C-alpha cells in the first residue's frame, strides 16, 4: 500500500519545487492541450524532449517517473490488442490465420501510448514537485473569478486540501487495522467468499468509525482555532510570481504554439 | 517457546526515496515464561521489532525463530497463520480494531478465525472477558458504547481468547489513567505468572518496567543497545544514561540515600521492600 507513486510529492529542492503552484498548473494545462494536438511524431518528439529536460531540472529520479508509468502497461497492451483488430488502414504488414496487421494499427497504438506516457509525465512533474497544500492553494486562486458567480471556491479548496491531507493518515490507519486484524487470524487472500466478506468488514467498520471520529475532532480543532465557514480569512502563505514563473508559463505556451505550428505547416 | 532474532535487519520501502532502515543487525533471544520490557526512544524500532514476531513484517535481512517457525529474509513463509495462532499481538490503541455489533462477538472473532467452533469460541470469549474484568451484563452491548479503557480491555480479551503462548503488547497502557494502567499491568503479570505465558511489552513507563517486568531490552536508533535483568539495569546509572531514560522515583530515592551514606541491595526495588529494609536496619 506504500508503493503508490502516482500523485506523490517528493520533497526536493529544485527550480520546479520553488515555482508558484499557479504557474505550474497553467503550464500543465498548456502542455496537456499540446499533447492532444495531433502533430504527429515530430510534435511528440518536441514535447517529449522538453519534458525530459524538465525531469532533469526537477531533480526527480528517472526510475521514479518510470514507476509512475508502470500502472499503464496493462492499458497499453489492451489498447494494442484492440487496435490490431479494429484499425484497417495503411499497408498490410503481416497476415496469418484470421489476423491482418496493418501499419495504421501500429502507428495508431503508438500515438495513444506516447500520448498517455507524456500525460503521466506532465502530471507526475506537477504533483511530485508541488505540495498537495500548495496545489489546492493554487487551484483556489485560479478559481477565484468563479466566486463572482457564487461558487464557494474557498470551501471547495478547503475540502480538497483536507481530503489530500488525510490520505496518508488514512493509509497508515488502514495499514495498522489490517495488521491488527491479521494478528487475529484474518486472511484476505484465502478462505470462502463469506470469510472474505467478513475479513473486509473487519477493516471497513473500524475505518468508518475512526474517520467519523477524526472528522469530529478536526471540526472541533478548527473551530477552537477560530475557523468559521464563509468568514473572511487572511493567509499565512502569500503566492507571488517570480521571473521563473513567467519563464515557465511563456515556455509552456511557446511549446503549445510550436506544436500548433507543426500541425498546420508540417503535417498538413 | 523460544524467540530468537539473528542478524535481523528491516528496511521500509526499500529502493524508493523513502527507504528507511528501521532495524539494524539485531541479535536477541527472549527468555521463555518471562515478562520482558522493550524500551527505547520514539522511532527506535520497538514496534517494527515486535511486528516480526507474528510475521506481519518480514525481515529484509537475517531471520526470526519463534518456536519451530523460522522466518528468513526474502522467503515467503507458508505457515504464517499457524504462527499467528501462537503469538497474540496487541497493537497500540487496540480499541480501534473492534468492529462487531456486540462485545462477545468481537472477542470470539479471533478464535473463530483460527478454527474454533462457535460454542468453543464463545466459551473462550466469556473467559477472556472475565479475566480482563468485563462483566456479563455488558457482553451483548456494542463495543462503541464503552469507555476508552473498557474498549481497550475488550480488544485485549480478543487477543487472549486466541490462547496464545506468547503475548506481545505494544504500549498497552498508553492513554489510560494511572489506576487503569496499573490494573492492566497487574493483569499481564497474572497471565504471565499463572499460565506461564511469555509476555513482551513495549512501554515508555519506567515505573511499570520496574514493578512488573523481569528483563529489559533497550533499542536505540534501530540497534540493540542492551539486554539485561531489571535489577542490574536500574542499579547501573551508566545503562540508564545510555538508554536515555529518567530513572523511576524509587531508583532516584535509593540514589539519594546512597549519597547520604545508606547503601541498599540492588534487588530492593519496590516501596514495600525498601520500607522493610530500612526498618530492619534501624530496628534496635
What pLDDT digit, counting tens, does each position of B202-256 carry?
Answer: 998 888 999 899 999 999 889 999 899 988 888 888 888 877 778 888 888 888 8
Contact status of A53 with chain B (Cβ, < 8 Å): no
Mean pLDDT in residue range A109-113: 85
Structural class in CATH, domain B1-78+198-245: alpha beta
- The reported pLDDT for the residue numbered A215 is 92
Q: Is the pLDDT of residue A25 over 50?
A: yes
Alpha helices in A144-227 (DSSP H): 153-183, 193-224
Q: Is B275 exposed, middle or buried (0-12, 13-18, 19+ CB in 10 A)?
A: exposed
3-state secondary structure of B117: coil
The packing angle between helices B271-282 and B249-259, to 10°, is 20
Domain limits, CATH 3.40.50.300, in chain B? 1-78+198-245
Q: Is the pLDDT of residue B67 over 60?
A: yes
Neighbouring C-beta atoms of residue B128, cutoff 10 Å: 24
| Chain B contact set for A185 (CB, 8 A) | 81, 84-85, 110, 113-114, 162
Contact status of A14 with chain B (Cβ, < 8 Å): no
User: Which of A11, A183, A185 should we substitute to test contact with B (largest number of B Cβ atoms within 10 Å)?
Assistant: A183
- The reported pLDDT for the residue numbered B212 is 92
> Whose CA is closest to B52, among B94, B79, B18, B23?
B23
> Whose grid coordinates read 511549446?
A255
Half-sphere exposure in the Cβ direction for B121 (13 Å, CA) = 19
> Whose CA is closest to B143, among B133, B152, B130, B135?
B152
- Cα separation of B60 and B89, whole Å? 21
- Cα separation of B56 and B275, whole Å? 45
Indicate the pLDDT class of residue A1, thresholds 50, 70 and 90: very low
- The reported pLDDT for the residue numbered B253 is 87
Q: What is the DSSP secondary structure assignment for residue B144, as one 8-state letter? A: G
- Cα separation of B114 and A7, whole Å? 39
Contact A57, A113 (CB under 8 A): no
Query: Residue A102's beta-bridge partner residues?
Result: A92
- The reported pLDDT for the residue numbered A2 is 47
- With CB atoms and an 8 Å threshold, state whether A180 touches B88: no
Contact status of A70 with chain B (Cβ, < 8 Å): no
Contact status of A207 with chain B (Cβ, < 8 Å): no
Q: Convert the pLDDT of each residue in B24-45 to its tens digit.
A: 999 999 988 999 999 988 889 9
| CA angle in degrees (0–180, nearest 5) for A65-A67-A72 | 100
What is the average pLDDT score of chain B?
A: 89
- With CB atoms and an 8 Å threshold, state whether B88 touches A185: no
| Chain A contact set for B89 (CB, 8 A) | 180, 183
- With CB atoms and an 8 Å threshold, state whether B159 touches A2: no
**C-alpha grid cell for residue B254?**
535509593
Contact B245, B216 (CB under 8 A): no
| Chain B contact set for A182 (CB, 8 A) | 56, 84
Q: Is B139 exposed, middle or buried (0-12, 13-18, 19+ CB in 10 A)?
A: middle
Backbone phi and psi for residue B48, each to the nearest 5 degrees, phi listed first: -60, -45
**C-alpha grid cell for residue B96?**
480501534
Contact B124, A148 (CB under 8 A): no
**Choice among A65-69, A252-256, B83-87, B196-200 with the minimum mean pLDDT:** A65-69
User: Which of B97, B112, B151, B161 should we substitute to test contact with A (largest number of A Cβ atoms within 10 Å)?
Assistant: B97
Half-sphere exposure in the Cβ direction for A79 (13 Å, CA) = 16
Q: Is A244 exposed, middle or buried (0-12, 13-18, 19+ CB in 10 A)?
A: middle
Cβ-proximal residues to B76 (8 Å cutoff; 6+ apart), any chain: none
- Cα separation of B154 and B140, whole Å? 12
| Chain B contact set for A176 (CB, 8 A) | 91-92, 96
Contact A25, A122 (CB under 8 A): no
Contact status of A206 with chain B (Cβ, < 8 Å): yes
* Conformation bin of residue B170: beta by default, left when phi > 0, alpha when psi is -120 to 50: beta
- The reported pLDDT for the residue numbered A6 is 56
> Whose grid coordinates read 478536526?
A218
Contact status of A182 with chain B (Cβ, < 8 Å): yes
Nearest CA-CA distance, residue A263 and chain B, Å? 40
Give A164 or A268, the one with higher predicted confidence: A164
**Choice among A4-13, A59-68, A187-196, B273-282 with the minimum mean pLDDT:** A4-13
Q: What does the DSSP assignment read for B212-270?
A: H-SEEEEEETTEEEEEEEHHHHHH-HHHHHHHT-PPPHHHHHHHHHHHTT----TT--S
> Whose CA is closest to A177, among A215, A211, A221?
A211
Picking from B13, B17, B84, the nearest residue to A61 by CB comes out as: B17
Element counts in chain A: helices (H) and strands (E): 10, 2
**C-alpha grid cell for residue B276?**
522493610
3-state secondary structure of A151: coil
What is the average pLDDT score of chain A?
A: 84
Q: What is the DSSP secondary structure assignment for residue A145, as one 8-state letter? A: G
> Whose CA is closest to B8, among B43, B55, B41?
B55
Report the residue of chain A nearest B95, measured CA to CA: A206
Mean pLDDT in residue range B115-143: 92
- Cα separation of A121 and B10, whole Å? 32
Indicate the pLDDT class of residue B88, thresholds 50, 70 and 90: very high
**Choice among A91-100, A199-208, B249-258 with the minimum mean pLDDT:** A91-100
Amino acid at each position: 500500500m506504500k508503493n503508490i507513486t502516482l500523485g506523490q510529492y517528493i520533497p526536493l529542492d529544485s527550480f520546479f519545487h520553488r515555482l508558484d503552484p499557479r504557474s505550474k498548473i497553467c503550464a500543465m494545462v498548456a502542455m496537456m492541450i499540446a499533447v492532444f494536438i495531433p502533430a504527429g511524431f515530430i510534435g511528440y518528439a518536441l514535447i517529449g524532449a522538453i519534458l525530459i529536460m524538465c525531469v532533469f531540472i526537477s531533480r526527480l529520479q528517472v526510475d521514479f517517473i518510470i514507476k509512475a508509468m508502470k500502472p499503464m502497461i496493462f492499458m497499453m497492451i489492451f489498447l494494442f490488442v484492440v487496435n490490431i483488430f479494429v484499425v484497417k488502414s495503411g499497408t498490410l504488414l503481416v497476415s496469418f490465420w484470421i489476423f491482418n496487421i496493418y501499419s495504421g494499427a501500429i502507428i495508431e497504438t503508438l500515438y495513444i501510448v506516447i500520448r498517455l506516457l507524456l500525460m503521466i509525465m506532465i502530471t507526475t512533474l506537477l504533483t511530485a514537485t508541488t505540495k498537495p497544500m500548495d496545489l489546492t492553494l493554487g487551484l483556489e486562486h485560479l478559481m477565484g473569478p468563479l466566486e463572482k458567480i457564487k461558487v464557494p471556491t474557498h470551501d471547495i479548496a478547503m475540502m480538497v486540501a483536507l481530503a489530500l491531507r488525510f490520505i496518508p493518515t488514512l493509509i497508515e490507519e488502514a495499514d495498522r487495522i489490517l495488521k491488527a486484524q491479521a494478528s487475529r487470524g484474518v486472511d484476505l487472500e484465502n478462505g470462502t467468499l463469506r470469510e472474505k466478506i467478513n475479513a473486509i468488514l473487519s477493516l471497513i467498520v473500524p475505518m468508518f468509525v475512526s474517520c467519523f471520529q477524526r472528522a469530529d475532532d478536526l471540526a472541533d480543532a478548527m473551530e477552537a482555532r477560530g475557523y468559521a465557514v464563509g468568514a473572511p480569512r487572511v493567509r499565512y502563505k502569500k503566492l507571488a510570481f517570480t521571473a521563473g514563473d513567467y519563464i515557465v508559463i511563456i515556455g509552456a505556451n511557446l511549446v503549445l504554439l510550436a506544436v500548433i505550428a507543426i500541425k498546420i505547416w508540417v503535417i498538413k | 517457546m523460544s524467540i530468537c532474532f539473528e542478524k535481523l535487519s528491516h528496511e521500509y520501502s526499500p529502493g524508493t526515496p523513502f527507504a528507511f532502515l528501521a532495524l539494524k543487525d539485531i541479535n536477541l533471544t527472549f527468555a521463555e515464561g518471562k515478562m520482558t520490557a522493550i524500551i527505547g526512544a520514539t522511532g527506535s524500532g520497538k514496534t517494527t521489532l515486535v511486528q516480526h514476531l507474528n510475521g506481519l513484517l518480514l525481515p529484509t535481512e537475517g531471520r526470526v525463530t519463534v518456536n519451530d517457525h523460522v522466518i528468513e529474509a526474502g522467503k515467503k513463509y507458508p505457515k504464517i497463520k499457524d504462527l499467528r495462532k501462537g503469538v497474540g499481538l496487541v497493537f497500540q490503541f487496540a480499541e480501534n480494531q473492534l468492529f462487531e455489533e456486540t462485545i462477545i462477538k468481537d472477542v470470539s472473532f479471533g478464535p473463530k478465525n483460527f478454527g474454533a467452533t462457535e460454542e468453543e469460541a464463545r466459551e473462550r470469549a466469556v473467559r477472556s472477558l472475565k479475566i480482563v474484568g468485563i462483566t456479563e451484563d455488558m457482553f451483548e452491548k456494542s463495543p462503541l458504547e464503552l469507555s476508552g479503557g473498557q474498549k481497550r480491555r475488550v480488544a485485549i480479551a480478543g487477543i487472549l481468547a486466541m490462547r496464545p503462548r506468547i503475548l506481545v503488547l505494544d504500549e498497552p497502557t498508553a492513554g489510560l489513567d494511572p489506576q487503569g494502567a496499573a490494573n492492566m499491568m497487574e493483569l499481564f503479570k497474572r497471565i504471565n505468572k499463572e499460565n506461564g505465558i511469555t509476555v513482551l511489552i513495549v512501554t515508555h513507563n519506567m515505573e511499570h518496567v520496574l514493578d512488573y517486568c523481569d528483563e529489559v531490552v533497550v533499542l536505540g536508533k534501530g540497534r540493540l543497545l542492551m539486554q539485561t535483568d531489571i535489577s542490574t539495569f536500574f542499579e547501573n546509572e551508566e545503562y540508564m544514561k545510555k538508554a536515555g531514560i529518567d530513572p523511576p522515583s524509587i531508583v532516584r530515592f535509593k540514589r539519594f540515600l546512597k549519597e547520604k551514606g545508606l547503601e541498599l541491595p540492588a534487588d530492593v526495588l519496590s516501596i514495600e521492600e525498601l520500607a522493610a529494609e530500612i526498618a530492619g536496619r534501624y530496628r534496635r
